[in-house]
């Protein structure tokens, strides 16, 4: 197939793989990349800066597709900690489960996790959209500043603790909300945006079945009377 | 950092290949813990109530034949003594009190690593790859094994500070994380007569759990109690003669991955360590949840 290149991580190191992908000139015509034997290795395709389809055929390790720009990365398996951390644009799709800190500090693009994400999903989110087909663990969207986190399953304890202006949509049960996170009305604009995100993630849920969680903005200003009990 | 590794065999073939399967897992986690390494291996219980005592001396040329001769003279003329570098494995009908008394009296520079009918601990300071070779990890056979690669953060790098830590008999623990109140736990237990060998945080956790069990708790009850007593981060992998038990603290910032396959249960800090196990593609691979106690029977 034209434009398809396969890399075998049993043969080359992650560093060699990433260097080759970073260095490949635009005219090389790479359109699709397949990576076999990822075997849980860390930092696979971190730092991509081109529009290219990447398929990782197996379980990947920490920082998979970290700092991604433009690339469309699909992981046919699970990922370790911090998948798509600091993503700027593009799309990262995990077909299995994602471990902790999925999408940490991501600025743009879309992260889709078909299975469950673990704790601290979307921590410090700065503008990306994250759609989780399953459930998320504790302290998800901790201090999330901008962007949207859609959780089709349940959310663990302390959801949205110290939330800024990111918005969370949850379809299932919420174990508990974190400090300053609160339930807010789901309006037509929310439903429209949810429908769009669910469609992008190829998930078939009724947008009206979600609960909207946002910031109560009570932590924005220091309150000496609260004695740090929020 | 630190790496933890566990492998519990579910077939005879896997039991025969336990060392061959677990060694690459340990070496892979060497990047998380290059300071020291160790493992606790569980065999069929010794017959006639005999026990195995794993004994350590830092000098790899230590005069073990002289030690063995003294043991035969004082303890048990039928005892066995297998030596590997700094490690001697004593099998005897003598009681732990008799062996401890002999060590204290005549061999104060020897360190008792483990006591049990099934368990044997090997641990030393150095690169995991070197320790694995020195103590012939790949040739080991048995029902289950827990292992550790250490990156020291809170106490000395020494063979005694390497994991696994043991307390009582046939009970050991490996730990990824750090406890912030080991000194107060140690002081409280010492007042109750519990003896310590190091200033290590993991030893405090290990002895706390074993002390609770000696007071009548089940292992599950002891672990539940630890949630409110142990302050800090932990992923604990615990082994007894017939079980392997995994638990993470509420915050769960120290990783673990489990693979349940037809032939084995495997646990490691990272999936990398499990990636080359036979049949891993068909195994149920998952991340353990915080404060959930996972138990697998031998």
CATH pick for A38-226 out of 3.40.50.2300, 2.160.20.60, 3.30.450.20, 3.20.20.80: 2.160.20.60
pLDDT, tens digit, 9 for 90 and up, residues B85-99: 999 999 999 999 999
B292 touches chain A (CB under 8 A): no
Contact across the interface for B271 and A97, Cβ inside 8 Å: no
- Of A61, A100, A118, Cβ closest to residue B271: A61
Q: What is the pLDDT of residue A228?
A: 64
Q: Which residue has the tokens 């061999």?
A: B107
Q: What is the pLDDT of residue A3?
A: 80
Residue of B nearest to A10 (CA): B276
d(CA A140, CA A138): 6
Extract the tokens encoding B180. Answer: 């912030």
Extract the tokens encoding A11. Answer: 């043969």
Residue of A nearest to B287 (CA): A99
Instruction: Specify the DSSP element, H or E, that contains B8.
Output: strand B3-9
pLDDT, tens digit, 9 for 90 and up, residues A171-210: 999 999 999 999 999 999 999 999 999 999 999 999 999 9
* CATH 3.30.70 boundaries in chain B: 50-117
- Of B275, B287, B289, Cβ closest to residue A40: B275
d(CA B11, CA B223): 29
> Which residues neighbour A23 within 8 Å (Cβ) at sequence distance 6 or greater?
none
Q: What is the pLDDT of residue A24?
A: 86
Q: Which residue has the tokens 């370790």?
A: A80
Contact across the interface for B272 and A61, Cβ inside 8 Å: yes
Buried b (16+ CB within 10 A) or exposed e, B63-102: ebeebbeebeeebbeebebeeebbbbbbbbebeeeebeeb
Q: For residue B273, which residues of chain A lie inside 8 Å, CB to CB?
A: 40
Q: What is the pLDDT of residue A29?
A: 75
A7 touches chain B (CB under 8 A): no
Q: What is the pLDDT of residue B271?
A: 97
Extract the tokens encoding B81. Answer: 């003594």
Extract the tokens encoding B222. Answer: 């002891």
* CATH 3.60.20.10 boundaries in chain B: 3-45+141-297
- Of B270, B289, B290, Cβ closest to residue A40: B270
Determine the average pLDDT of the residues in B114-135.
97
Whole-number mean pLDDT of chain B? 96
Q: What is the pLDDT of residue A2?
A: 61
- Phi, psi of B267, deg, nearest 5: -130, 140
Q: Please, which pLDDT band fits residue B191 given cuts at 50, 70 and 90?
A: very high
Q: What is the pLDDT of residue A49?
A: 95
Q: Is the pLDDT of residue A70 over 80?
A: yes
Extract the tokens encoding A90. Answer: 């593009």
- Burial of A181 per CB tally in 10 Å (0-12, 13-18, 19+): buried
Integer CA distances (angstroms), B221 to B157, B173, B216, in order:
32, 16, 9
Q: Is the pLDDT of residue A146 over 90?
A: yes
CATH architecture of B50-117: 2-Layer Sandwich (3.30)
CATH architecture of B3-45+141-297: 4-Layer Sandwich (3.60)
A93 touches chain B (CB under 8 A): no
Q: What is the pLDDT of residue A132?
A: 98
Q: Is the pLDDT of residue B167 over 60?
A: yes
- Residue B150 to chain A, least CA–CA distance (Å): 20
Q: Is the pLDDT of residue A150 over 90?
A: yes
Q: For residue B272, which residues of chain A lie inside 8 Å, CB to CB?
A: 39-42, 61
Residues of B recognised as catalytic: 2
Helix (H/G/I), strand (E/B), else coil: A205: coil
Q: For residue B285, which residues of chain A lie inside 8 Å, CB to CB?
A: 59, 78
ipTM for the whole predicted complex goes beyond 0.85? yes
Residue of A nearest to B275 (CA): A39
Q: What is the pLDDT of residue A1?
A: 55
Q: Where are the domains of chain A?
A: 38-226
pLDDT, tens digit, 9 for 90 and up, residues B249-261: 999 999 999 999 9
Percent of chain A with pLDDT over 70: 97
Q: Please, which pLDDT band fits residue A28 given cuts at 50, 70 and 90?
A: confident
d(CA B291, CA B236): 11
- Of A40, A99, A119, Cβ closest to residue B272: A40
B63 touches chain A (CB under 8 A): no
d(CA A207, CA B249): 35
| pTM attached to this predicted model | 0.95
pLDDT, tens digit, 9 for 90 and up, residues B220-248: 999 999 999 999 999 999 999 999 999 99
């Amino acid at each position: 197939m034209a434009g398809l290149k396969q890399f075998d991580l049993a043969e080359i190191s992650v560093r060699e793989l990433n260097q080759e992908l970073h260095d490949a000139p635009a005219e090389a015509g790479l359109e699709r990349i397949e990576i076999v034997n990822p075997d849980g290795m860390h930092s696979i395709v971190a730092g991509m800066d081109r529009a290219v389809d990447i398929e990782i055929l197996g379980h990947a390790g920490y920082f998979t597709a970290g700092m991604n720009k433009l690339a469309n990365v699909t992981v046919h398996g699970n990922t370790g900690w911090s998948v798509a951390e600091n993503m700027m644009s593009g799309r990262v799709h995990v077909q299995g489960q994602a471990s902790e800190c999925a999408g940490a500090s991501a600025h743009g693009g879309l992260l889709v996790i078909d299975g469950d994400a673990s704790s601290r999903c979307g921590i410090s989110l700065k503008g990306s959209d994250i759609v989780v087909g399953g459930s998320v663990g504790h302290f998800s969207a901790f201090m999330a500043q901008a962007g949207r986190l859609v959780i089709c399953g349940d959310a663990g304890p302390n959801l949205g603790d110290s939330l800024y202006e990111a918005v969370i949509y949850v379809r299932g049960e919420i174990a508990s909300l974190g400090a300053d996170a609160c339930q807010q009305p789901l309006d037509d604009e929310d439903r429209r945006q949810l429908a769009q995100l669910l469609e992008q993630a190829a998930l078939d849920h009724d947008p009206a079945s979600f609960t909207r969680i946002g910031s109560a903005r009570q932590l924005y200003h220091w309150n000496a009377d609260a004695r740090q009990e929020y | 950092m630190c790496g933890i590794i566990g492998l519990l065999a579910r077939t005879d073939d896997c039991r025969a290949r336990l060392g061959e399967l677990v060694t690459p897992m340990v070496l892979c986690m060497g990047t998380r813990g290059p300071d020291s390494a160790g493992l606790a291996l569980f065999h069929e219980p010794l017959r006639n109530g005999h026990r195995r005592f794993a004994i350590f001396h830092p000098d790899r040329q230590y005069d073990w034949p002289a030690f063995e001769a003294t043991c035969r003279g004082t303890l048990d003329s039928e005892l066995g003594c297998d030596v590997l570098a700094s490690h001697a494995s004593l099998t005897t009908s003598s009681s732990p009190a008799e062996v401890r008394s002999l060590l204290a009296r005549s061999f104060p520079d020897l360190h008792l690593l483990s006591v049990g009918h099934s368990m044997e601990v090997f641990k030393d300071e150095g690169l995991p790859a070197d320790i694995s070779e020195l103590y012939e990890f790949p040739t080991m056979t048995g029902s289950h094994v827990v292992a550790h690669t250490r990156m020291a953060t809170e106490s000395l790098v020494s063979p005694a500070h390497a994991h696994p830590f043991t307390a009582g008999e046939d009970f050991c623990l490996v730990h990824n994380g750090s406890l912030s109140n080991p000194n107060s736990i140690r002081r409280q237990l010492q007042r109750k007569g519990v003896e310590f060998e190091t200033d290590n945080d993991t030893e405090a956790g290990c002895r706390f759990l074993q002390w609770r069990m000696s007071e009548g708790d089940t292992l599950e009850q002891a672990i539940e109690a630890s949630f409110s007593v142990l302050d800090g981060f932990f992923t604990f992998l615990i082994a007894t003669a017939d079980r392997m038990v995994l638990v993470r603290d509420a915050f769960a910032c120290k990783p673990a991955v489990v693979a349940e396959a037809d032939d084995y249960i495997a646990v490691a800090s990272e999936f990398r360590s499990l990636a080359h196990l036979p049949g891993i593609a068909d195994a149920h691979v998952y991340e353990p949840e915080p404060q959930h106690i996972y138990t697998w029977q031998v």
